[in-house]
Structure 1
Amino acid sequence: MARPPRHAVGAAQRPRSSARLVALLCLVVALAGCTVGPSERPPVAVRGENVPAAPGQPTPTAEPVLPEPEPQRATIPFFECTEDTLVTLVEPVPADRQLQVDCGDLTVPADPDQPSRGAVTLGVIRVGEAGAPADRPPLLVLGDSTREPSTRHAAILAGQVDPALLQHYTLVGIDRRGAGEDILHCAPDDARAALVDADAGATGEADLALLLERARAVVQECNLTLDGGLGSYRTAASAADVELLRAALGVERLSAVGVGDGAAALAMWARSAPRSVGRLVLDGPPHPTQDEPDLTDTRAAAAEAALGAFGVACSARPDCPLGPDPRATVASLLAQLERRPLVTTDGSRLTAGATVTALLSGLGEPRRWPALAAALAAANAGDPVPMLTILAPLTGPRGLFDGMLATSCNDTQRRLAPGEIAEVAQRWTGAYPTFGATLALRLLACAPWPTGREARLTGQAEAAPPILVIGTAADPRGALDGSRRTADSLATARFISWQGAGTGAYPRTSCISGVVDAMLLDGVMPDSGTLCPP
């Protein structure tokens, strides 16, 4: 596709919205070294006009040239599926864009490490401007395993990004293993329910032994269903899928945005195939080497921080249905549900464990916080249906829970014995009162699981172009420090952070959007350490 010529940092002129002009001004200030407070603090991207340049700063050195996005020459047989896809979205597509959606699939080895095990089919989607050239450069979107399938995530993102991005890229989503076309739904219903509904206070020897038996039933049934292929549902396998997708899209270098463990998969891909990397954004990747129970420990702390942000956001509204202290209301509700779950007329039960599961999912998407607050308030008033509706995509028929569990267990090495989990639950109950005990019991779900294959850090992707890594202060899927450690482990990475909440910072805030769009569209990288306000 013909594109205007650019100099080293790609500063081609194009129409921009006023929001993007402000965001790019913020980025220029950050690149100039503007700081707030003592000099040891990181650069802060501020919003406003007529911001003076910091005096006495040296001229920035020449930036490495990011690869130009390449036209795609896809060999995947796509077919149009616009109406069928867009009708399923919770939020309608904004009026400022007309989208076209194409669907296809990609056949990949069932287990990249054991090609003899056969193949699986993963759903692939392309979302772009209606009438756009078919060879418009692809931008891969790879979501977190606890959220909607990546194909759906790409369609949602197309309705949220700056329209300028859609003028230069076609968003491409590929489903993670265990989701979408390759949905993993193998656990016995009663065993899955036992793991979800586990009583956070039941940590005695007999209670844990019974829960362990339920976990064994999940492993046994899923292993039979998958003919021993349980270990293929792991983040490292998704990294291998990305390289196969790049080849199928017909580009030498693939630009991509990954969220959560989708970002972890892209980081693994960058290490294994650094010369295949285009403009790469890793949004909220978890710690690259942490194992259990430390990994869940940091996630419990991050979830408590996200709950705090949720409470502040709700109580700032005059119509907050959770009252002046939302955290106390949630604590009271969980205590009530531990004593007596709510039961619907069809026999469905809302337990404390199920409510925590719904909370962990809902806190990752701030756009849905008002609906989450209303559902919690309804449960507090005795109506469990809204909370069960939030829970259904996770634990209902063809839900995400089995795939989430498989990925989580396969991505870790250490398995904890019931006695160790009881000690962890006691310790975390005090440190993380809302999520600690429940997340400790979830560790028992992996106890009978085959030991995950160790995913060693193979190099630092030294041959890759500059990589942008984003951390979020209150991401319920992982601590900000884990994202920072990912950046530290990649030779060319630049790390920025957002003082907000949710799983994935892009494009939730104009500051982060300005930085990411400047990279993807103009090839401009921020200073490492840039800080975006809430």
Structure 2
Amino acid sequence: MPRRHPPRRRARRAVLAALLPVLVVAGCTVGPSTRPAVVQNDAPVPADGGTGESRQPLPPLGEPGPSSLDWSDCAADTRQRLGGTARPDVAVECAYLTTTLDPPGMPGQGLSRMAVLKAGSGPVPLVVVNDVDGLPGTLYAAQLAATLPDELLERFSLIGVDRRGTGGSDAVRCIPSGERATLLDSDPAAGIERPLDAARTAGQQCAIALEDEQGALDSERTTSDLDTLREHLGMDRLHALGHGEGSRVLAMYSARFPGKTGRMVLDGMPDPSDDQAGVLGGVAHGAEATLDAAGEQLGRDLRADVTALTERLGRTAPLTSDGYRLTPQLALRAVLSGLADRDRWSDLAGAVAAARSGDPNPLFRFVRPHIVEDQASAARLDGTIATRCNDTTTRLPADRLASTARELARDHPVFGATVAQELVWCSPWPTRSGDSGEIASDQAPPIVVVSTETDPVTPGKGTVRAADQMPSAVHVSWKGAGHGALSSACVTGAVHSFLVDGDVPRDGTLCPA
């Protein structure tokens, strides 16, 4: 049964929606000193002081005790892996942490290794958690350090985490390469059997390769990893920043460990609805809107370019890159990956143009990390499927999979069939009893939840629904486009004030595009 939004928050969102046109026309209020301005909701301040429904005070940052992690310099390797997007003047160190695997039916058993990276030398650790299918958290933290204000890095060091099953944290390697390609290059709206057969093979091979570890790759156990990390960092409370689906892990942490929750910012929470088809429809809609926004920013009709490319790939001999066929669906999956990184929109448009001219290599590079594994890096798809399938109990029979895929393709002609692939991935995966983890606690302190209106991964409407379920959520919305809002000066200013100065923004704060 879909979860219901608390009436109080529904009413507040209605007020906010009514005020939106007025606020956007009115523009920004003047911010303190030189910090970016923030558009404030001028609705009456509620009894809780405008900090959501949490009655808990915002905790102080505190001073960390001694860290038990064995840090070593890894700046050169990190900059090489990021291709020059890391700041050369920021110290970068890496370490490994041993945590408890805790497989189902064997509580407290086994060991798991977590890779962590520290960017900057600020005294207070700020843990960074990314999407499970995105850039590994260690690299994301190093990349993020290049964009955040110097004042924030003077107070915090960013602690990037490779979530269990990803990156350097005992990454999952269990799906045969051919099946990975099939899972991402098939059109489930045109025929369900081929991707379903690949999903069955992937599930069987993962069960064999992972054994007890298979059921331990989930977000709930990742919250335990984060609490172990908090202890080793010498902190009484976990201060953290989540990006996309990584925000959900931090929300679960706050619900499970409210007394150990510090200052948290959740940038782009995924939709918490149990209606998976509805959620994927929202993702497809957000991706198509982002495609249009990217084209507008670049001054070209990017949607028309992508459509022309997929039509060409569907009627001519397939292009190949790294031995993989660039089918229409694999090309669209590459475009989806490119839309998630606003800084690469220009590169994405160039890659689409190159593919239309017969060179698939630049476009394939956007999807390559999800399919191809080597000694240095596991394919991201393996850890993504393991985590997502353990996090949900939703399994659809084959006839429902086929009909739902057709509906998504009909309603969202560019990306509907592509996101429908994800309905198939978990179909043969073992189902566990219980829910997928609570994200709400009235004992947690205020948590800033940021939504991006046009987001190809975690659409703004879904993030608002997530915030509605969290009594302690303080919602900040950005009327921009792309995955995550930290590129907005307005949002970054509000986040800086919250993390560094302890200034909780008004629930319903609006940032213009």
Q: Above 0.5 in TM-score?
A: yes
1:517 lines up with 2:493 in the alignment: no
* Residues in 2 aligned to 1:193 and 1:59: alpha-carbon distance in whole angstroms: 52
Structure 2 residue aligned with 1:175: 162
> 1:442, CA displacement in angstroms?
3.0
Query: 1:406–1:340: structure 2 CA closer, same or farther, 3 Å change rule?
Result: farther
* Residues in 2 aligned to 1:487 and 1:193: alpha-carbon distance in whole angstroms: 35
- 70, 75, 78: which is aligned to 1:85? 78
Structure 1 residue aligned with 2:426: 446
Structure 1 residue aligned with 2:114: 122
Q: Secondary structure at the match of 1:186?
A: coil
* Residues in 2 aligned to 1:124 and 1:443: alpha-carbon distance in whole angstroms: 32
Deviates more, 1:402-411 or 1:194-203: 194-203
Give the conservation status (yes or no) of the 8 Å contact 2:393–2:436.
no
* Residues in 1 aligned to 2:400 and 2:46: alpha-carbon distance in whole angstroms: 55
* Percent identical residues: 36
1:190 lines up with 2:181 in the alignment: no
Structure 2 residue aligned with 1:342: 318
Structure 2 residue aligned with 1:494: 474
Query: 1:139–1:441: structure 2 CA closer, same or farther, 3 Å change rule?
Result: closer
* Residues in 1 aligned to 2:41 and 2:450: alpha-carbon distance in whole angstroms: 25
Structure 1 residue aligned with 2:383: 403
Query: 1:257–1:53: structure 2 CA closer, same or farther, 3 Å change rule?
Result: closer
- 388, 393, 402: which is aligned to 1:422? 402
Query: 1:489–1:43: structure 2 CA closer, same or farther, 3 Å change rule?
Result: farther
Structure 1 residue aligned with 2:98: 107
Query: 1:118–1:261: structure 2 CA closer, same or farther, 3 Å change rule?
Result: same
Q: Secondary structure at the match of 1:514?
A: helix
Letter of the 2:111 counterpart: A
> 1:370, CA displacement in angstroms?
0.4
Letter of the 2:334 counterpart: A
* Residues in 2 aligned to 1:292 and 1:94: alpha-carbon distance in whole angstroms: 39
* Residues in 2 aligned to 1:226 and 1:75: alpha-carbon distance in whole angstroms: 30
> 1:162, CA displacement in angstroms?
0.3
Give the conservation status (yes or no) of the 8 Å contact 1:271–1:460.
yes
Letter of the 2:153 counterpart: L
Structure 1 residue aligned with 2:5: none
* Residues in 1 aligned to 2:501 and 2:18: alpha-carbon distance in whole angstroms: 31
> 1:46, CA displacement in angstroms?
3.6
* Residues in 1 aligned to 2:317 and 2:63: alpha-carbon distance in whole angstroms: 55
* Residues in 1 aligned to 2:108 and 2:403: alpha-carbon distance in whole angstroms: 42
Letter of the 2:497 counterpart: A
Q: Secondary structure at the match of 1:229?
A: helix
Query: 1:411–1:517: structure 2 CA closer, same or farther, 3 Å change rule?
Result: same
* Residues in 1 aligned to 2:430 and 2:282: alpha-carbon distance in whole angstroms: 23
- 470, 473, 481: which is aligned to 2:453? 473
**How high is the TM-score relative to the length of structure 2?**
0.87
Give the conservation status (yes or no) of the 8 Å contact 1:106–1:122.
yes
Structure 1 residue aligned with 2:222: 238
> 1:333, CA displacement in angstroms?
0.9
Q: Which 5+ residue runs of structure 1 have no aligned equivalent?
A: 1-34, 316-323
Query: 1:144–1:58: structure 2 CA closer, same or farther, 3 Å change rule?
Result: closer
Deviates more, 1:262-271 or 1:83-92: 83-92
Give the conservation status (yes or no) of the 8 Å contact 2:50–2:506.
no
Structure 1 residue aligned with 2:306: 330
Structure 1 residue aligned with 2:126: 139
Q: Secondary structure at the match of 2:58?
A: coil
- 493, 507, 513: which is aligned to 1:528? 507
Letter of the 1:337 counterpart: L
> 1:164, CA displacement in angstroms?
0.5
Within a 5 Å distance, the mapping from 1:244-283 to structure 2 comes to 244-283=228-267
Structure 1 residue aligned with 2:141: 154
Structure with bigger gyration radius: 1
Query: 1:224–1:327: structure 2 CA closer, same or farther, 3 Å change rule?
Result: same
Within a 5 Å distance, the mapping from 1:339-418 to structure 2 comes to 339-340=315-316, 342-344=318-320, 347-397=323-373, 398-418=378-398
Give the paired residue count.
480
Q: Deviations over 1:258-299 (max 9, x none)?
A: 011110000000001001111111111112342422222222
* Residues in 1 aligned to 2:85 and 2:312: alpha-carbon distance in whole angstroms: 37
Give the conservation status (yes or no) of the 8 Å contact 2:103–2:110.
no
Q: Deviations over 1:392-442 (max 9, x none)?
A: 112111221111122222222111122112211221222111111122233
Deviates more, 1:488-497 or 1:84-93: 84-93
* Residues in 2 aligned to 1:62 and 1:226: alpha-carbon distance in whole angstroms: 47
* Residues in 2 aligned to 1:265 and 1:372: alpha-carbon distance in whole angstroms: 29
Q: What's the RMSD between the two structures over aligned residues?
A: 2.8
**How high is the TM-score relative to the length of structure 1?**
0.83
* Residues in 2 aligned to 1:36 and 1:123: alpha-carbon distance in whole angstroms: 41
Q: Which 5+ residue runs of structure 2 have no aligned equivalent?
A: 1-14, 32-36
Q: Deviations over 1:211-247 (max 9, x none)?
A: 3222111011111111142222222222221111111
Query: 1:42–1:446: structure 2 CA closer, same or farther, 3 Å change rule?
Result: farther
